[in-house]
Amino acid sequence: MSRLLITGFGPFPTVPDNPSGRLARRLAGSPHLRLILGQAPDCLVLDTRYGALDTQLAPALAKRPLAVLMIGVAARRPRICVETHAVNRLSRLFPDADGRVSRTLAFDPGGPAQRLSPAASQVRIALRRAGLDAAASRDAGRYLCNASYYRVLEQGCPAVFLHIPMPSRTPRPKAGGGRCRPALDLWAEAFAEAARVLVLRSRMSAGRQAHSR
Ligand code: PCA
Protein backbone atom coordinates (compact mmCIF):
# COMPACT_ATOMS: atom_id res chain seq x y z
CA MET A 1 0.00 0.00 0.00
CA SER A 2 1.43 3.40 -0.88
CA ARG A 3 1.89 5.84 1.96
CA LEU A 4 2.42 9.48 2.74
CA LEU A 5 6.12 10.36 2.59
CA ILE A 6 7.46 12.98 4.99
CA THR A 7 10.89 14.45 4.23
CA GLY A 8 13.30 16.66 6.14
CA PHE A 9 16.97 17.53 5.78
CA GLY A 10 20.22 16.94 7.65
CA PRO A 11 22.90 19.54 8.40
CA PHE A 12 24.55 21.79 5.81
CA PRO A 13 27.35 24.37 6.03
CA THR A 14 25.34 27.30 7.47
CA VAL A 15 22.99 25.12 9.59
CA PRO A 16 24.98 22.47 11.49
CA ASP A 17 21.90 21.33 13.43
CA ASN A 18 18.94 21.23 11.05
CA PRO A 19 15.58 21.27 12.86
CA SER A 20 13.72 20.09 9.74
CA GLY A 21 15.04 16.54 10.08
CA ARG A 22 14.00 16.39 13.73
CA LEU A 23 10.57 17.77 12.90
CA ALA A 24 10.07 15.29 10.05
CA ARG A 25 10.91 12.38 12.39
CA ARG A 26 8.69 13.69 15.14
CA LEU A 27 5.75 14.20 12.80
CA ALA A 28 6.19 10.79 11.18
CA GLY A 29 6.27 9.11 14.60
CA SER A 30 3.22 10.93 15.92
CA PRO A 31 0.41 8.61 17.07
CA HIS A 32 -2.03 11.46 16.30
CA LEU A 33 -0.97 11.50 12.65
CA ARG A 34 -1.18 7.73 12.42
CA LEU A 35 -4.71 7.94 13.76
CA ILE A 36 -5.89 10.60 11.32
CA LEU A 37 -4.28 8.90 8.31
CA GLY A 38 -5.22 5.38 9.29
CA GLN A 39 -1.64 4.29 8.56
CA ALA A 40 1.93 5.24 9.53
CA PRO A 41 3.73 7.51 7.06
CA ASP A 42 7.22 6.92 5.66
CA CYS A 43 9.97 9.31 6.70
CA LEU A 44 13.15 10.29 4.89
CA VAL A 45 15.75 12.68 6.25
CA LEU A 46 17.81 13.61 3.23
CA ASP A 47 21.47 14.45 3.35
CA THR A 48 21.80 18.04 2.18
CA ARG A 49 23.87 16.98 -0.84
CA TYR A 50 23.02 17.24 -4.51
CA GLY A 51 23.94 13.57 -4.88
CA ALA A 52 21.21 12.60 -2.38
CA LEU A 53 18.51 13.56 -4.87
CA ASP A 54 19.49 10.52 -6.93
CA THR A 55 20.66 8.16 -4.20
CA GLN A 56 18.02 8.86 -1.49
CA LEU A 57 15.06 10.80 -2.91
CA ALA A 58 14.66 8.98 -6.24
CA PRO A 59 14.34 5.48 -4.65
CA ALA A 60 11.71 6.82 -2.22
CA LEU A 61 9.75 8.35 -5.13
CA ALA A 62 10.02 5.10 -7.07
CA LYS A 63 7.76 3.58 -4.41
CA ARG A 64 5.07 5.99 -5.65
CA PRO A 65 4.04 7.66 -2.38
CA LEU A 66 0.43 8.69 -1.90
CA ALA A 67 1.52 12.28 -1.20
CA VAL A 68 4.70 14.05 -0.07
CA LEU A 69 5.04 16.53 2.79
CA MET A 70 8.46 18.17 2.63
CA ILE A 71 10.13 20.21 5.37
CA GLY A 72 13.30 22.32 5.25
CA VAL A 73 14.71 25.19 7.26
CA ALA A 74 14.96 28.76 5.95
CA ALA A 75 17.06 30.17 8.79
CA ARG A 76 16.52 33.84 8.01
CA ARG A 77 12.77 33.78 7.57
CA PRO A 78 10.60 34.87 10.49
CA ARG A 79 7.65 32.53 9.85
CA ILE A 80 6.53 29.28 8.26
CA CYS A 81 6.37 29.50 4.48
CA VAL A 82 4.22 27.31 2.27
CA GLU A 83 6.10 27.13 -1.01
CA THR A 84 3.75 27.47 -3.96
CA HIS A 85 6.21 26.25 -6.57
CA ALA A 86 9.74 25.14 -7.39
CA VAL A 87 11.89 26.61 -10.14
CA ASN A 88 14.32 25.00 -12.54
CA ARG A 89 17.25 27.03 -11.18
CA LEU A 90 20.18 26.37 -8.89
CA SER A 91 22.61 28.73 -7.26
CA ARG A 92 26.28 28.05 -7.91
CA LEU A 93 27.26 29.96 -4.78
CA PHE A 94 26.18 27.70 -1.93
CA PRO A 95 28.11 24.49 -1.30
CA ASP A 96 26.20 21.42 -0.13
CA ALA A 97 27.18 19.26 2.85
CA ASP A 98 29.92 17.66 0.71
CA GLY A 99 31.34 21.09 -0.17
CA ARG A 100 30.08 20.78 -3.76
CA VAL A 101 28.26 23.48 -5.69
CA SER A 102 25.98 22.83 -8.63
CA ARG A 103 27.81 22.75 -11.95
CA THR A 104 24.79 24.01 -13.88
CA LEU A 105 22.31 26.84 -13.41
CA ALA A 106 19.35 24.77 -14.63
CA PHE A 107 18.44 21.85 -12.40
CA ASP A 108 16.98 19.88 -15.29
CA PRO A 109 18.12 21.35 -18.63
CA GLY A 110 15.14 19.79 -20.47
CA GLY A 111 12.53 20.54 -17.79
CA PRO A 112 9.91 23.30 -17.45
CA ALA A 113 10.93 26.64 -15.88
CA GLN A 114 8.77 25.95 -12.84
CA ARG A 115 6.44 23.41 -11.30
CA LEU A 116 3.44 24.45 -9.22
CA SER A 117 1.90 22.76 -6.22
CA PRO A 118 -1.91 22.81 -6.60
CA ALA A 119 -2.22 21.73 -2.94
CA ALA A 120 -0.28 24.70 -1.50
CA SER A 121 -3.15 27.09 -0.81
CA GLN A 122 -5.32 24.42 0.84
CA VAL A 123 -2.36 23.45 3.04
CA ARG A 124 -1.74 27.10 4.00
CA ILE A 125 -5.39 27.47 5.03
CA ALA A 126 -5.20 24.25 7.09
CA LEU A 127 -2.04 25.46 8.86
CA ARG A 128 -3.62 28.82 9.67
CA ARG A 129 -6.73 27.08 10.96
CA ALA A 130 -4.42 25.01 13.18
CA GLY A 131 -3.09 28.27 14.66
CA LEU A 132 0.15 28.83 12.74
CA ASP A 133 1.16 32.12 11.17
CA ALA A 134 1.86 30.45 7.81
CA ALA A 135 2.43 32.53 4.67
CA ALA A 136 2.50 31.64 1.00
CA SER A 137 5.95 31.95 -0.59
CA ARG A 138 6.90 32.02 -4.25
CA ASP A 139 10.58 31.54 -3.51
CA ALA A 140 11.79 28.12 -2.35
CA GLY A 141 15.37 29.30 -2.94
CA ARG A 142 17.93 27.94 -5.42
CA TYR A 143 19.43 25.25 -3.20
CA LEU A 144 18.54 21.72 -2.11
CA CYS A 145 14.99 22.46 -0.90
CA ASN A 146 13.98 23.96 -4.22
CA ALA A 147 15.73 21.18 -6.17
CA SER A 148 14.10 18.38 -4.17
CA TYR A 149 10.67 20.07 -4.48
CA TYR A 150 11.12 20.42 -8.25
CA ARG A 151 11.92 16.71 -8.41
CA VAL A 152 8.95 15.70 -6.24
CA LEU A 153 6.43 17.89 -8.10
CA GLU A 154 7.32 16.05 -11.30
CA GLN A 155 5.80 12.97 -9.69
CA GLY A 156 2.28 14.43 -9.92
CA CYS A 157 1.03 13.29 -6.50
CA PRO A 158 -0.13 15.96 -3.98
CA ALA A 159 3.00 17.52 -2.51
CA VAL A 160 3.94 20.63 -0.61
CA PHE A 161 7.14 22.12 0.76
CA LEU A 162 7.09 23.85 4.14
CA HIS A 163 10.03 26.06 5.07
CA ILE A 164 10.37 26.53 8.83
CA PRO A 165 12.32 29.29 10.57
CA MET A 166 14.97 28.45 13.18
CA PRO A 167 12.88 27.46 16.24
CA SER A 168 14.94 29.83 18.42
CA ARG A 169 13.85 32.82 16.29
CA THR A 170 10.14 32.29 16.72
CA PRO A 171 8.44 34.65 19.17
CA ARG A 172 7.46 33.21 22.54
CA PRO A 173 4.07 34.03 24.03
CA LYS A 174 4.11 37.14 26.21
CA ALA A 175 3.97 36.78 30.00
CA GLY A 176 0.50 35.56 30.87
CA GLY A 177 -0.10 34.75 27.21
CA GLY A 178 -0.54 31.04 27.74
CA ARG A 179 1.67 28.01 28.23
CA CYS A 180 4.96 28.23 26.38
CA ARG A 181 5.43 25.10 24.27
CA PRO A 182 8.49 24.30 22.17
CA ALA A 183 8.02 25.45 18.57
CA LEU A 184 8.73 21.96 17.20
CA ASP A 185 5.83 20.51 19.24
CA LEU A 186 3.42 23.14 17.94
CA TRP A 187 4.59 22.70 14.37
CA ALA A 188 4.39 18.90 14.49
CA GLU A 189 0.80 19.16 15.68
CA ALA A 190 -0.22 21.66 12.97
CA PHE A 191 1.71 19.86 10.21
CA ALA A 192 -0.43 16.79 10.86
CA GLU A 193 -3.28 18.88 9.41
CA ALA A 194 -1.18 19.62 6.32
CA ALA A 195 -0.58 15.88 5.98
CA ARG A 196 -4.29 15.22 6.27
CA VAL A 197 -5.04 17.69 3.45
CA LEU A 198 -2.48 16.06 1.15
CA VAL A 199 -3.71 12.53 1.78
CA LEU A 200 -7.34 13.56 1.32
CA ARG A 201 -6.49 15.18 -2.03
CA SER A 202 -4.72 12.02 -3.08
CA ARG A 203 -7.61 9.77 -2.10
CA MET A 204 -10.11 12.06 -3.82
CA SER A 205 -8.19 12.06 -7.07
CA ALA A 206 -7.81 8.26 -6.91
CA GLY A 207 -11.58 8.06 -6.37
CA ARG A 208 -12.29 10.32 -9.37
CA GLN A 209 -10.00 8.21 -11.58
CA ALA A 210 -11.70 4.98 -10.51
CA HIS A 211 -15.11 6.57 -11.18
CA SER A 212 -14.20 7.70 -14.71
CA ARG A 213 -12.94 4.24 -15.73
N1 PCA B 1 17.21 24.12 3.92
C2 PCA B 1 17.99 24.31 2.72
C3 PCA B 1 18.42 22.93 2.31
C4 PCA B 1 18.12 22.05 3.46
C5 PCA B 1 17.30 22.85 4.37
O6 PCA B 1 16.76 22.46 5.42
C7 PCA B 1 17.22 25.07 1.63
O8 PCA B 1 16.38 25.92 1.96
O9 PCA B 1 17.44 24.80 0.44
List of the chain residues with pLDDT < 70? 1, 169-179
- The residue range of the domain holding 121 is 4-212
Parallel, antiparallel or unpaired: strands 81-83 and 135-137: parallel
Parallel, antiparallel or unpaired: strands 135-137 and 67-73: unpaired
Contact between 65 and 107 (Cβ < 8 Å): no
Q: How many CB atoms lie within 10 A of CB 121?
A: 13
> What is the total residue count of the chain?
213
Look up 85 and say whether it is catalytic: no
List the catalytic residue out of 43, 81, 85, 145.
145
- Testing ligand 1's pocket by substitution, the residue of 6, 7, 14, 18 carrying the most ligand atoms inside 8 A of its CB is 18
Residue 190 has a pLDDT of 97
Residue 178 has a pLDDT of 58
Angle at 105 between CA 104 and CA 111, to 5 degrees: 95
CA 89/CA 105 separation, integer angstroms: 6
Q: Is the CB of 21 under 6 A from ligand 1?
A: no
Q: State the CATH number of the domain containing residue 88.
A: 3.40.630.20
User: How many domains does the chain contain in total?
Assistant: 1
